[in-house]
Amino acid sequence: AIQMTQSPSSLSASVGDRVTITCRASQDIGNNLGWYQQNPGKAPKLLIYAASGLQSGVPSRFSGSRSGTDFTLTISSLQPEDFASYYCLQDYNYPRTFGQGTKVEIK
Amino acid sequence: EVQLVESGGDLVQPGGSLRLSCAASGFTFSTYAMNWVRQAPGKGLEWLSFISSGGHTIYYADSVKGRFTISRDNAKNSLYLQMNSLRDEDTAVYYCARESVVATLYYWGQGTLVTVSS
């Protein structure tokens, strides 16, 4: 199975900060990666598809990029509603595998 | 509006069985592949299983292979997860999720809680 190594596991940031979260795939997965946001007690929500595609309705402060097997989710200016957990998911093959998650907390 | 509503979560003893359901509406269910995902308390997300639109292609995570069975009834717009030989570590919120052309887990249900405990 493809392993997705996500970092950091948590971070503290302030409103307005630029935040980056990284996932590294254990092998080439092309652009087959999505990013999901999850608020406490809620179902996850798709933010980014195909490594850099912005899901409809998601604010433009969210962006995704790829460099080889490294994928990055960037929040350009953190807003209060962005304090949540974030997960990457490879959808290159089965079994699908998630990163371990990143909890973004208020500093 | 796409809606996915899970049900069937309960408290069950180790070694027991449970069947989860996911009722779909707002789209043509028979044309979309579906997945199950779970999240143990305080832990991350774990993909469990996939079923193609017609039900002919199925995949499982190693953690549930041989114990869980995914199925669907397109006439009833419903997805199922039969869970047997349940273990403490199967305690989790279970989500169903619909695929799309661009992403595996495009729409999610609200989840149903399964607790395995004696």
Q: Report pLDDT for B103.
A: 87
Chain A residues with at least one Cβ partner in B under 8 Å: 1, 34, 36, 38, 42-46, 49-50, 53, 55, 87, 89, 91, 94-101
Residue segments in chain B with a per-residue pLDDT below the cut of 50? none
pLDDT at A16: 96
| Residue contact B103–A45, C-beta within 8 A | no
Task: Tell me the nearest-neighbour CA distance from B44 into chain A, angstroms.
Answer: 6
* Amino acid A86: pLDDT: 98
Query: What does the alpha-carbon distance between residue B98 and residue A48 come to, in Å, rounded to a whole number?
Result: 16
Look at residue B90 in the predicted model and tell me its pLDDT: 98
Picking from B95, B108, B112, B109, the residue whose alpha carbon sits closest to that of residue B38 is B95
Q: Which residue of B has its CA nearest to A52?
A: B102
In angstroms, the CA A48 to CA B28 distance is 24
Q: Given a cut of 90, is residue A107 above it in pLDDT?
A: no
Q: Mind listing the pLDDT tens digit for each residue in B4-35? A: 999 999 999 999 999 999 999 999 999 999 99
Which residues are within 8 A (CB) of A86 and not within 5 positions of it... i.e. 6 or more apart?
A21, A35, A36, A37, A38, A47, A73, A101, A102, A104
